[in-house]
Structure formats: structure tokens, C-alpha cells
Amino acid sequence: MSAASRAVLSWIAAPGRPLDGRLRVPGDKSISHRALMLGALAEGTTRITGFLEGEDTRATAAVLQRLGVCIEAPAEGERIVHGVGLHGLRAADGPLDCGNAGTGMRLLAGLLAGQGFDSVLVGDASLSKRPMRRVIEPLSAMGARIDSEGGLPPLRIHAKNVLQGIDYKCEVASAQVKSAILLAGLYAQGPSTVREAHPTRDYTERMLAAFGADIEFAPGLATLRPGRRLAATSVDVPADFSSAAFFLVAASVIPGSHLRLERVGVNPRRTGLLEALRLMGADIAVRPAGEQGGEPLADIEVRAARLRGAVIPEALVPDMIDEFPALFTAAALAEGVTTVSGAAELRVKESDRIAVMTAGLRALGASIDETADGALIHGSGFTANTDPSMALADRAGALRGGRADSQGDHRIAMSLAIAAQCAAGEVRIDDVANVATSFPGFEALARGVGFGLRLA
């Protein structure tokens, strides 16, 4: 989709009906990225099912194909990756376009740091503003040579035949940084260890182990020893918790709602939102549903509840960093004040999510005090209205209709769509095309369970 078409695509959102039904959201984006990369570096054929058909993951697949990897797409949600082995990639004939995928660019930087050829990673306008020094610095300490534009893309990665293992303490809680180091560690001399003050998602560690890498890991610590070949395997991608999060919040705040989300990935380093919503009084039941590719699954049932403001523990921040836009919406509709702190990382995502989410909710009448690393969100008390017969737009504490700009941030667009379900009039949400990067089909799925949502 062109930059021009992204700029004009908008939604009209308004109260629909109480949400009801069973649904399965698309596959996990983070796992889809990693399955492609490790499948490419493995020997043999890796079959991926449940693959997220988003623009970000397709961009990663296209990059790997430019590097000489054959990737087939026999059906929607399926990929067959014909691995070339750790040393089988070949130089591309030009820059490698990561699109909007920060995960893709940071992990590919680690993967390419030890190759014997030069590579250039580029991205779209949004990705070109996102910080890459956090991966450049540890990779450079391993011996990689990476040039950037003041720590921003594009990244010019120079040929390097041998890297050195590293013992690295992450200053930023980032699974992407950890993953970049571990991927580079496959090409290093000696072990690579990553230590985290705040444990982050362990998708890469689990998947490296499944592909046969010599890796040991525990919360906050991972050590990879190079030397083993990776062996192809099958990867069944679970439903993405970050995508499920929008429906968890929506069903919690829209009176009369009752949803069941099926076979959602509930990696314990991913589900901080569940604890945060429970602190606010949410009615959520999590029922284990086995494992898929080493990742725990659950069916999650959620009913509307009377939410209260809460202080969100800073310890939860790394485990829910992508879910804060949706949490802001829940807090704006709860009773009392919700305090978010320790979340400065939100300012360097696809947008400055603190500033953009604050502006979007304020445009609809919410009261929010922005801080350097979070916000004080003064809830309207909308969720205190539990009479299912009352029209949504007539309830006390409803937000007002109006116009809000997502600034091209997919998670903010979907979070504002939730807010609009609790507004007294229509809401126009601008710049929503990037929703396709992580959640293709969101509009249809949302309308199917009760959202009032359409293209402008």
C-alpha cells in the first residue's frame, strides 16, 4: 500500500452492540517473524502453520527471499521455508526493505551481523524514526560493523566472518535486543549470554531450542553456545495475545459483553495485561488449552465488569508494553485514577504512544495527565453503568464523538476503535492503514462480534 493511501484511510466508529461470541484472532506476529528466520537458517524444510498474514511478517519473508531462501505459501496462514543452513544466505542485490517491522529489522540486524557479505536494512517513514542504537551497540561489541543515521535506519551492515561471544546486560527491557544478540551468537566464537534486569519474552529462546540450538535460559538470563547446526521443524503459531488484547479490553468496558477467545498464546512474559485488568476488577477467566510449538495456550473468557482505577506495577511493564494503548482506553472508562509509570519505552514505538494515545483520548473527552514515562488517567466511570438495557450512547461517563488521529500506529487505531464503542456519537479515526501490519481482518472480526466500525 502506498504512502499516499495510508495517509487518507480512516474509520468511522460508533457504539454497536454488546460484544458476544467466540473468536480466534490471527497468529502471533513475534513468533511468525522468528519462525521464518530460524527456518531459513535451519537445514531442511520448516512448515509454519497459523502464520500471521500481516504486512510486517510478509516484509520479513520478502527479505529472506532476497537473501536466497525459498519460501512457499501454499495456503493462507501457511509457509514452507526451505532452509539454507547457517552459512547458506547470499548477498541481496540492493537494500532490504523491512517495511514497518521494528521486530524484523532488529532481529535481522543480529542475523546479518555475522555474514560474509554487506547488507543494508531500510524501512518505511515510521520505522526510519525508531531507535536502533540499542541493537547496534551490543552487536558492535561482538565485532559487527554497522553504520546508521545517528542511531536510526537505514542500517548498513558490513561483512564480518567471525564475531565474538558476549556477556551483555540489557539496560532496556527488550526481547528484540536479546533476540538480536542470540541470533548473532549463532555466528560467534564462544558463548553469548544476555542478562536482563526485567525478564522479557522468551520466544527466541524457546524456538532456538526447538530448532536444536545449544541454549540454556531462565527468566532474565539466556546463554547460547554456537557450533550446532539448526534442524528444520514444524512451527504451529498460536493466536497473538497482543491482538486478543483489544477484545479483552473491549469486552471488559462495553456493558453486557461476553466473549470467548480461543487458543491464545499465553507466554508468561507476554500477559501482563491480564494482571493489570484484574487489578482494575476485570472479569476474566483463563483456561489452559495445552501447548503449541512450546508455547502455552489458553481459552480466555471475558465479561463486562465495573472497572476501577489502579496503580499499574512497573514490574508488569515489560510484559505488556504493546498492550498499553488498549489499557489507556480501559482506564479512561474506569472509575477513579489509573497511574502508569516506568513506561518511557512507549515513546519510541511506532509512534510516541504516550503522547498520541493521550491526544486521541482527550479529543473524545477523556481526562489524562501525561508524564515523562507514563500518565495519570482520570476515568469517566462509564463502566459503572451495568444496566444492559441502556443504550451505550446514553450512559453516564460516555466519551463524546469527534475525530482522533492514530498517527499511523496500528495499536492506537484499534484502541481508539474500542473507545468509540463507548462514545455518545460517531468517532472518525484517521490514518488506520497500518492496522494491516499486525492484524489483517480486524474490521470484519470486530464487526462480527458487535463493534460499530466501517471505513470512512
DSSP, residue by residue, 383-420 = GG---TTS-GGGSTTPBPPEEEE-TT-HHHHHHHHHHH
Residue 169 reports pLDDT greater than 60? yes
Crossing angle for the helix pair 324-333 and 410-420, to the nearest 10 degrees? 20
* Cα dihedral 108, 114, 117, 122 in deg (nearest 10): 20
Question: What average pLDDT does range 8-37 have in this prediction?
Answer: 95
Angle at CA of residue 281, ends 372 and 271, nearest 5°: 65
Q: pLDDT per residue over 299-311, tens digit each?
A: 999 999 999 999 9
pLDDT at 8: 66
DSSP annotation of 308 reads: B
Active site residue 124: no
Closest CA to 154 of 92, 91, 105: 105
Domains of the chain, first to last: 3-27+239-455 (3.65.10.10), 29-236 (3.65.10.10)
pLDDT at 48: 97
Out of 28, 97, 240, 322, which one is annotated catalytic?
322
pLDDT > 90: percent of the chain:
90
Flag the least confident range among 284-293, 385-394, 444-453: 385-394
Amino acid, res. 447:
R
pLDDT at 323: 97
Calpha distance 85→100 (Å, rounded): 27
pTM for the model? 0.88
CA atoms within 13 A on the CB side of 397: 22
Residue 4 reports pLDDT greater than 80? no
In 67-139, beta strands by DSSP E: 70-72, 78-84, 96-97, 119-122
Amino acid, res. 265:
G
The pLDDT confidence band at residue 390, using thresholds 50, 70 and 90, is confident
Residue 240 reports pLDDT greater than 70? yes
Residue 103 reports pLDDT greater than 60? yes
**Mean pLDDT for the chain?**
94
pLDDT at 393: 65
Q: Cell numbers at residue 23, please?
A: 473468536
Q: pLDDT per residue over 406-438, tens digit each?
A: 999 999 999 999 999 999 999 999 999 999 988
